[in-house]
Structure 1
Amino acid sequence: MTKVIAAINMTLDGYCDHTGGIADEALHEHYSQLIRHGGAILYGSVTYRLMQYWQDLIHKPTGNKSIDDFALAIDNIPKIVFSKSLNTLDWDTAKLASSSIKTEISRLKKEMDRDILIGSPSLIIQSMKLGLVDELQLCVHPVILGSGLPLFKDITNRTLLKLLKTKTLPSGAIILYYAPN
């Protein structure tokens, strides 16, 4: 059965900042595996623009296996981008969403036999509010950032989650796997 998996990195104090975590080999390997098993990944325009960094590494690999493997995984997975500011996308495996997140996820669940990933903070929150998330994967880094974008700032109702499992990375980052309760 196709699951909707919301996966994101965050600091111990709850901020989502791509520069705030510990991007080591184990983290890249974890996300490469997740992405290779996914059928599509959903992004907002800000995260999409950040992820375009990886396109350059396809043509100019770093020589670091975990980084280059992640670049290849992110390049290959179909990306659906929700944006009011972008009219075109310059990534062959990306397309603009043509409908609401609820409609897109419903369509993808009918069409795909692989998991649907959500990788943008705003889309994670929207999907959670709509009850569309089957699994929430929070990679909590042992970093206190002090400021930034708080992941759950727009959640106004108490939300109970069931812990499914944990995975500890050598950096001390812990991936918490939750399901809605």
Structure 2
Amino acid sequence: MRRLVVWNLMTLDGYFEGKSPWDLAFHEAVWGDELAAFSLEQGKEIGTLLFGRRTYEGMAGHWSKATGPTADMMNSIEKAVATRTLEEATWNNTRLLKGEAAEAVRALKMEEGKDVYVMGSADLLDTLLKAGLVDEYRICLAPVVLGGGNPLFKPQDQQVKMTLIGTRPLKTGGVVLTYTVGG
């Protein structure tokens, strides 16, 4: 079974996005050569990038026009979109996962291949975390307090325990924290 790995940047106060959609200005606080290299390093582990519809639309709009090593990786890798509303996916190597997200992603994890990675997609991640489908979180903690925005972790009915398995400090002041889900 493939693992489901989450990769996101998050502020000290828990936001992965600012007060408006795609407000990612805080990324500049941690982005640099180290994080760019780490992103490409992770890319070698990715079998499928999984997005919710809104994140897919934003990522496709950006990366399909971008150039460089990260853009090459994003454009060439297999992608899947968990959606109830999208009728077609036009970004290179993208397929739609229709129906209930948890069921579709459970089936995706059962396929042969490298790990499934999720970027952004906090609402989808909430569904997948509640269904017990998330195996690992990789979070780059940015030394920024936004004071509001879209939280990475939504309210849960019960506590979710995680085990720290790695830390990676960055020269920018950010820290990549890696956790397995479960006790």
Which band: TM-score by shorter chain? 0.7 to 0.9
Deviations 1:30-60 (A, max 9, x none): 1222123111011011111221201111xxx
SS of the equivalent of 1:131 reads: coil
Instruction: Quote the offset at 1:125 in angstroms.
Output: 1.5
SS of the equivalent of 1:127 reads: helix
Paired positions, count: 172
Instruction: Give unpaired runs (5+ residues) of structure 1.
Output: 62-67
Counterpart of 1:115 in structure 2: which amino acid? D
The corresponding residue for 1:49 is 57
Q: Does 1:2 align with 2:2?
A: yes
Counterpart of 1:149 in structure 2: which amino acid? N
* Contact 1:83–1:96 (Cα < 8 Å) also in 2: yes
Instruction: Quote the offset at 1:16 in angstroms.
Output: 0.8
Deviations 1:92-150 (A, max 9, x none): 21121133333233322332231111222112221111111111111111111111101
Displacement over 6 Å in runs of 4+: none
Q: CA RMSD in A?
A: 1.7
The corresponding residue for 1:77 is 77
CA–CA separation in structure 2 for the residues paired with 1:36 and 1:93: 16
* Identical-residue share of aligned pairs (%): 29
Counterpart of 1:21 in structure 2: which amino acid? H
The corresponding residue for 1:33 is 41
Instruction: Give unpaired runs (5+ residues) of structure 2.
Output: 18-23
The corresponding residue for 1:91 is 91
* Contact 2:169–2:176 (Cα < 8 Å) also in 1: yes
The corresponding residue for 1:134 is 135
| Cα distance change of structure 1 residues 112 and 170 upon mapping to structure 2, 3 Å threshold | farther
The corresponding residue for 1:65 is none
Counterpart of 2:179 in structure 1: which amino acid? Y
SS of the equivalent of 1:20 reads: helix
The corresponding residue for 1:100 is 100
The corresponding residue for 2:13 is 13
* Contact 1:39–1:114 (Cα < 8 Å) also in 2: yes
Counterpart of 2:135 in structure 1: which amino acid? D
Alignment TM-score, normalising by the size of structure 2? 0.86
CA–CA separation in structure 1 for the residues paired with 2:25 and 2:56: 15
Alignment TM-score, normalising by the size of structure 1? 0.87
Instruction: Quote the offset at 1:85 in angstroms.
Output: 3.6
* Contact 2:2–2:111 (Cα < 8 Å) also in 1: no
